[in-house]
A and B are shown apart, each in its own frame.
Chain A
Amino acid sequence: AQKVTQAQTEISVVEKEDVTLDCVYETRDTTYYLFWYKQPPSGELVFLIRRNSFDEQNEISGRYSWNFQKSTSSFNFTITASQVVDSAVYFCALRPGSARQLTFGSGTQLTVLP
């Protein structure tokens, strides 16, 4: 069975602060994919990134960066110089290579205060 844990239920930061959202996963598959989705107040789910289990290279996209560590089964997401528009619920998700459906974490509500 797959499991994704996002221990941080809510985080509040002041604009321009850096913030890291934690994600820990469990799977028995040797091939798997990890994801981050953003859900803004409007409610839609916005795909942010997909990472393959065999590619531990960290990734940076603008103010967003992701740290994938297989040794600790973690896939953490950092927003640098946060902005009010980053306020949203962020979900980490896992898909084993043997399946096509996603297992989601419970989400982290990020609030960025002006």
Chain B
Amino acid sequence: DAEITQSPRHKITETGRQVTLACHQTWNHNNMFWYRQDLGHGLRLIHYSYGVQDTNKGEVSDGYSVSRSNTEDLPLTLESAASSQTSVYFCASSPNRAPRDTEAFFGQGTRLTVV
């Protein structure tokens, strides 16, 4: 079955370290997204991509970067981790035209703690 997977599921890192969160989808979707979830804020968009070599900044992109070298993967990099980046991160993908009974497909989430 097609799926979207995030790794790792949990990570603890130190302030100032570079961290990369992986996202891999097997639906061949053009669109991929990274969100962070924080209490009181819901999910906020970090970066998104509409296809290979396309990346765009979202609402809260400072301190994060992404690259899209193939259809399946959109890794999220924290250049220098800060405590404010402690959060739960969700990756999502969607086709250009979603069927009525669904929308974006979300990964299981990655809980990142920066100490």
Contact = CB atoms under 8 A, between A and B. Distances in A.
A98 B109 CA distance: 27
B58 interface: yes
A61 to B, nearest CB: 11
B49 to A, nearest CB: 10
A91 B43 contact: yes
Interface stretch (A11-19, A72-80, A101-109): A101-109
Interface residues of A, number: 21
Contact of B103 (A43, A47, A103): A47
Q: How large is the interface on B (under 10, 10 to 19, 20 to 34, 35 or more residues)?
A: 20 to 34
Interface string B95-115: 010101111101011000000
Contacts of B50: 100
Interface string A64-93: 000000000000000000000000000101
B78 interface: no
Contacts of A7: none
Given A43-B109, A102-B104, A91 B48 contact: no
